[in-house]
């Protein structure tokens, strides 16, 4: 397994030296070649950190974060990671203009977990594309909410500078994808999540679904492949009380389940409001096959 991965990385390492030159905007290029190498690259696995550093002249930095996957309410866990500044890396990987695209950066993990993070968040907050722990220990973590021990984080793990940013701490680890193998720029998901047939007023719930649910689940075909249930269908099959218990305390419904609860770091009133809004939103959403 390890060997297979490093072989893939070697192949890509060679390929990336060829790409490295193709990123610079070329004033003389005809308008029709406006989107050259980048989309092809997005369908490939990321090269290893050394190849990336070399191809794009990236410097690694370190950051200390409050580790959301390991922290519990009232028991913060601090960790230091080494990685590349995410904006620097994305400037190269996604190509010029990504910050103004109004789209989303898609992080795809080895197991089908997908995180789509609005470009605006990278403009507002600072993230690191981490590839190692600073203390030299194995690049892995006990993931508290999913009851998984020593989960490998590599090849890449997106971590946010959350110390001193209470809103990021409250939100938990939903936008901290690990085992990231691919990164791509995608159009905004608003058309799938807020389609024309939906009455107005569900914007906050759609954003919450994207933050807390769609890394694993889907809405009408849009979302992750880890547990690709269509939530618009699921919500119609559960009454409000069952829905609430499942989202707030999945362990009390199915002990040992890998479904995480809504982050316990959110204020209790907000957790309940999010649960209610999600249920109403998903039931109002037209189901498409
Ligand atoms: C990290 C991945 C992950 C995230 C994020 C996640 N879930 Fe799940 N979900 C699961 C897994 C795994 C199952 C299957 C659980 C089982 O059967 O033990 C599941 C099952 C479900 C089910 C079906 C339950 C049943 O009894 O059949 C619903 C409904 C659901 N999730 C809703 C949600 C909603 C709503 C959110 C966001 C608030 C969410 N999930 C976030 C992993 C996730």
Q: What is the pLDDT of residues 249-265, one digit of tens each?
A: 999 999 999 999 999 88
Is residue 20 within 8 Å of 57, Cβ to Cβ? no
In the numeric block, the tokens 């075909």 are attached to: 221
Instruction: Please tell me the distance from the alpha carbon of residue 186 to that of residue 207, in angstroms, as a whole number.
Output: 16
pLDDT recorded at residue 289: 65
60-117 pLDDT, tens per residue?
999 999 999 988 878 899 999 999 999 999 999 999 899 998 899 999 999 888 889 9
Residue nearest to atom 28 of ligand 1 (CA): 234
pLDDT recorded at residue 231: 97
Instruction: Round the average pLDDT of the chain to a whole number and report it.
Output: 85
**Cα of 214 from ligand 1 centre, angstroms:** 10
Is residue 145 within 8 Å of 261, Cβ to Cβ? yes
Is residue 53 within 8 Å of 189, Cβ to Cβ? no
Is residue 116 within 8 Å of 193, Cβ to Cβ? no
pLDDT recorded at residue 1: 36
pLDDT recorded at residue 5: 37
pLDDT recorded at residue 37: 62
If one compares 146 and 222, the residue with the highest pLDDT of the two is 222
In the numeric block, the tokens 């308008």 are attached to: 31
Res. 9: pLDDT tops 60: no
- pTM score: 0.71
CA atoms within 13 A on the CB side of 175: 25
**Hey, which of 20-29, 111-120, 202-211, 212-221 has the most confident mean pLDDT?**
202-211
228-241 pLDDT, tens per residue?
899 999 999 999 99
SS3 call for 106: strand
Res. 20: pLDDT tops 80: no
pLDDT recorded at residue 50: 97
Instruction: Please tell me the distance from the alpha carbon of residue 155 to that of residue 45, in angstroms, as a whole number.
Output: 10
Res. 14: pLDDT tops 90: no
* Best mutation site among 151, 216, 245 for ligand 1 pocket (most ligand atoms within 8 Å of CB): 216
Identify the structural domains of the chain with CATH numbers, from first to last.
37-186 (3.90.420.10), 190-284 (1.10.760)
Res. 3: pLDDT tops 50: no
Q: What percent of the chain has pLDDT over 90?
A: 64
- Cα 235 to chain centroid distance, Å, stands at 23
**Cα of 66 from ligand 1 centre, angstroms:** 25
pLDDT recorded at residue 113: 86
Pocket residues for ligand 1 (CB within 6 Å)?
212-213, 215-217, 226-227, 229, 231, 234, 246-247, 254, 257-260, 262, 278
Give the ligand 1 atom nearest the CA of 275.
Answer: 38
């Amino acid at each position: 397994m390890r060997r297979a991965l490093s072989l893939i990385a070697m192949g890509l390492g060679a390929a990336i030296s060829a790409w490295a030159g193709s990123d610079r905007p070329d004033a003389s290029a005809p308008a029709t070649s406006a989107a050259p190498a980048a989309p092809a690259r997005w369908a490939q696995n990321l090269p290893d950190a050394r190849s990336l550093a070399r191809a794009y002249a990236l410097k690694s930095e370190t950051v200390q974060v409050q580790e959301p996957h390991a922290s519990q309410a009232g028991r913060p866990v601090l960790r230091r990671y080494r990685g590349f500044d995410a904006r620097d890396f994305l400037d190269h990987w996604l190509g010029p203009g990504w910050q103004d695209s109004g789209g989303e950066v898609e992080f795809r993990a080895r197991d089908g977990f997908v995180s789509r993070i609005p470009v605006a968040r990278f403009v507002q907050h600072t993230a690191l594309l981490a590839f190692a722990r600073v203390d030299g220990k194995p690049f892995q973590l006990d993931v508290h909410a999913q009851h998984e021990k020593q989960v490998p984080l590599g090849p890449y793990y997106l971590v946010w500078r959350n110390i001193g940013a209470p809103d990021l701490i409250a939100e938990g680890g939903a936008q901290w994808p690990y085992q990231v193998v691919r990164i791509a720029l995608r159009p905004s998901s608003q058309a799938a999540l807020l389609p024309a047939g939906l009455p107005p007023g569900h914007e906050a719930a759609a954003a919450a679904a994207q933050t807390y649910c769609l890394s694993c689940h889907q809405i009408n075909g849009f979302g992750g492949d880890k547990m690709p249930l269509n939530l618009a269908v699921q919500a119609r099959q559960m009454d409000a009380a069952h829905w609430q218990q499942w989202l707030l305390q999945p362990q009390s419904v199915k002990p040992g389940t890998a479904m995480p609860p809504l982050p316990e770091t959110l204020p209790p009133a907000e957790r309940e409001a999010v649960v209610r809004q999600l249920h109403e939103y998903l039931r109002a959403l037209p189901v498409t096959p």
